[in-house]
């Protein structure tokens, strides 16, 4: 999609990472072997054909599949490679953790492939490795997501393992404590990491007394208190058919996918029991908060109100953001903060539309003695682009880049599946891929002015700086 989302930090479990790498490596090796096998037809013009995923980036190839049991999925049927990629999500995520239970979604998602059915964690992971199947889960603030990668010849085993993980996870005591220990180790590392501290502090200040204010990965106090009953209850409440979205790309027909959807998800509860989450705007805008940390560089996060993803003015706002700091090498922030003054190696901005809040961020890391100057430059550029808008040349270049680079989001089957899933979650319509570039191309100076006016409040931002910053202007604390 067109904007980054803030996700819960990935689980820092070395054993799980090793197993995933082994399965992915085995899958890759088997794909290479099959590609070179005499059984795979070799054609002189193969190298001129588009990659399967790149050719999938049009609506005519997307089929909405409805299973006999009523479960919906979007499918791109492609037999170029003997591979199936599935992405799916249950709405809910860490926003459903509940008061005092921060990290529950993260812990639950991390345990779904740690034993299921009759297989404990070791046996389940071995079954995945034996068939070169990759199954993984993670949780963001708004969703619990899963993915499946398998060769076509192993699809029976792959879908059966996924069925077990989704419907019959064991949550064995050994696995719970092992994964809990890994999460705790990650939280201890994050407690001294400037980027993690800044992000956590920003959300804590922006969303007091709201689920978004709780850290998705949990805290050193909350994670030890989570029980197996909490985990079982979270899975029961949040994993259901009515809040499920699925996208599949690869060597599977619509008819077969319909049957597989019922096999994997058909026995889940019909309706999720989600706690209501209120729409919210970030608080403490105009405040500057410093977290003292003895490090040579200060991390700066400047966040303010943005637009929701389905807002009619989101695309013009997206173009504004690209010009401000969304482009890696041509944005205003890059030119002024890095190229002209050499204050930072990396500086960027991005829109972050969440289910219940629209946000707009800019961030950088700079020497402590230049933290004040860098912060002022970023804040001034926020205000300037909202007040004056971009130049005609900037607008032209932004439209050209954003439309020309869009196809890069579809250069693998996994990326296509991920894009299709996000389009569903954002409720943009099955034809969005066909419409998207036209929407960007149609952005005019008047659209920019209108969107900028709606974002005018963004000139006031919540600024969090972690380090030993110097040269800061006095602001409201």
SS3 50: coil
421-445 per-position pLDDT tens digit = 999 999 999 999 999 999 999 999 9
For the chain, percent of residues with pLDDT exceeding 90: 84
Between CA 302 and CA 262 the distance in angstroms is: 45
Name the DSSP class of 289: E
Predicted pLDDT of residue 459: 73
Q: pLDDT tens digits, residue range 145-160? A: 999 999 999 999 999 9
Q: Please, which pLDDT band fits residue 218 given cuts at 50, 70 and 90?
A: very high
pLDDT tens digits, one per residue of 323-352: 999 987 889 999 999 999 999 999 999 999
Residue 71's pLDDT is 98
Query: If DSSP codes are grouped into helix, strand and coil, which group holds residue 210?
Result: coil
Q: What is the pLDDT of residue 57?
A: 47
Residue for token pair 């490090």: 295
Going by C-alpha positions, the residue among 385, 384, 378 that lies closest to residue 465 is: 378
Complete domains list, the chain, with CATH: 14-43+50-265 (3.30.830.10), 288-467 (3.30.830.10)
What DSSP character marks residue 79? -
As a three-state string, the secondary structure of the chain is CCCCCCECCCCCCHHHHHHHHHHHHHHHHHHHHHHHCCCCCCCCCHHHCCCCCHHHCCHHHEEEEECCCCCEEEEEECCCCCEEEEEEEEECHHHHCCCCCCCHHHHHHHHCCCCECCECHHHHHHHHHHCCCEEEEEEECCEEEEEEEEEHHHHHHHHHHHHHHHHCECCCHHHHHHHHHHHHHHHHHHCCCHHHHHHHHHHHHHCCCCHHHCCCCCCCCCHHHCCHHHHHHHHHHHCCCCCEEEEEEECCCHHHHHHHHHHHHCCCCCCCCCCCCCCCCCCCCCEEEEEECCCCEEEEEEEEECCCCCCCCHHHHHHHHHHHHHCCCCCHHHHHHHHHCCCCCCEEEEEEECCCCEEEEEEEEEEHHHHHHHHHHHHHHHHHHHHHCCCHHHHHHHHHHHHHCHHHHHCCHHHHHHHHHHHHHCCCCCCHHHHHHHHHHCCCHHHHHHHHHHCHHHHCCEEEEEECCCCCCCCEC
Decide: 198 and 464 in contact? Cβ < 8 Å: yes
Q: What local confidence, expressed as pLDDT, does residue 34 receive?
A: 33
> Mean pLDDT of all residues in the chain?
89
Local confidence band at 473 (pLDDT 50, 70, 90 cut-offs)? confident
Q: Identify the pLDDT of residue 161.
A: 98
Query: Given a cut of 70, is residue 80 above it in pLDDT?
Result: yes
Give me the mean pLDDT over the 197-217 stretch. 98
**Residue 317's Cα: distance from chain center in Å?**
20
Least trusted range by pLDDT, from 2-6, 126-130, 362-366, 459-463 = 2-6
Encode pLDDT of 391-401 as tens digits.
Answer: 999 999 999 99
Answer yes or no: is pLDDT of 191 > 90.
yes
Per-residue model confidence as pLDDT tens digits over 19-77: 544 444 444 444 333 332 333 333 333 333 333 443 444 556 999 999 999 999 999 99
Phi and psi at residue 82, in whole multiples of 5°?
A: -80, 65
More confident residue, 53 or 378: 378
Calculate what percentage of the chain has a pLDDT beyond 70: 87
Of the candidates 217, 397, 366, which has an alpha carbon nearest to the alpha carbon of residue 302? 366
Averaged pLDDT, 247-274: 98
pLDDT band at 301 (very low <50, low <70, confident <90, very high): very high
In the structure, what pLDDT confidence band is assigned to residue 456 with cuts at 50, 70 and 90? confident
In the prediction, which pLDDT does 15 show?
43
What per-residue confidence (pLDDT) applies to 328? 79
- Do 159 and 133 meet the contact criterion of CB atoms below 8 Å apart? no
Give the pairing type, strands 72-77 and 244-250. parallel
How crowded is the C-beta side of 13, counted as CA atoms within 13 Å? 21
Query: Could you give the angle at the alpha carbon of 362 between the alpha carbons of 360 and 365, nearest 5°?
Result: 155
pLDDT tens sequence across 302-330: 999 999 999 999 999 999 999 999 987 88
DSSP 225: G
């Amino acid at each position: 999609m067109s904007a980054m989302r803030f996700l819960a930090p990935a689980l820092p479990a070395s054993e799980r990472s090793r197993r995933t790498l082994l399965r992915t490596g085995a899958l890759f090796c088997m794909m290479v072997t099959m590609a070179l096998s005499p059984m795979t037809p070799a054609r002189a013009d193969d190298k001129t054909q588009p990659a399967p995923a790149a050719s999938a980036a049009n609506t005519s190839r997307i089929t909405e599949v409805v299973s006999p049991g009523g479960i919906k999925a979007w499918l791109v049927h492609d037999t170029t490679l003997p591979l199936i990629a599935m992405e799916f999500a249950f709405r809910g995520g860490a926003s459903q953790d509940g008061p005092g239970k921060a990290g529950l979604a993260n812990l639950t998602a991390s345990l779904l492939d740690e034993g299921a059915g009759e297989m404990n964690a070791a046996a389940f992971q071995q079954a995945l490795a034996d068939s070169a199947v990759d199954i993984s889960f993670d949780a963001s603030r708004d969703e619990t997501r899963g993915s499946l990668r398998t060769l076509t010849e192993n699809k029976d085993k792959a879908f059966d393992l996924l069925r077990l993980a989704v419907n019959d996870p064991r949550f064995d005591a050994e696995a719970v404590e092992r994964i809990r220990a890994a999460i705790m180790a990650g939280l201890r590392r994050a407690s001294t990491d400037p980027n993690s501290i800044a992000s956590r502090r920003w959300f804590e200040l922006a969303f007091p007394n709201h689920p978004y204010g709780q850290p998705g990965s949990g805290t050193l106090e909350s994670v030890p208190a989570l029980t197996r009953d909490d985990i079982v209850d979270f899975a029961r409440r949040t994993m259901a058919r009515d809040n499920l979205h699925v996208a599949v790309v690869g060597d599977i027909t619509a008819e077969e996918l319909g049957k597989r959807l019922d096999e994997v998800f058909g026995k889940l509860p019909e309706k999720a029991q989600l706690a209501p989450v209120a729409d919210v705007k970030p608080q403490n805008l105009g405040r500057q908060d410093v977290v003292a940390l003895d490090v040579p560089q200060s991390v700066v996060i400047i966040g303010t109100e943005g637009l929701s993803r389905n807002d009619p003015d989101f695309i013009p706002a997206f173009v504004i953001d690209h010009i401000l700091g969304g482009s890696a090498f041509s944005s205003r922030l890059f030119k002024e903060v890095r190229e002209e003054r050499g204050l930072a190696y990396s500086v960027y901005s991005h829109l972050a539309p969440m289910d219940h809040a629209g946000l707009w961020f800019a961030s950088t890391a700079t020497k402590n003695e230049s933290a004040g100057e860098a912060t002022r430059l970023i804040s001034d550029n926020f205000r300037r682009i909202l007040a004056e808008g971009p130049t005609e040349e900037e607008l032209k270049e932004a439209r050209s880049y954003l439309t020309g680079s869009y196809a890069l989001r579809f250069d693998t089957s996994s990326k296509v599946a991920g894009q299709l899933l996000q389009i569903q979650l954002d409720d943009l319509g099955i034809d969005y891929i066909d419409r998207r570039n036209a929407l960007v191309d149609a952005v005019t100076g008047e659209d920019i002015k209108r969107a900028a006016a709606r974002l005018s409040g963004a000139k006031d931002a919540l600024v969090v700086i972690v380090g030993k910053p110097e040269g800061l202007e006095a602001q409201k604390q």
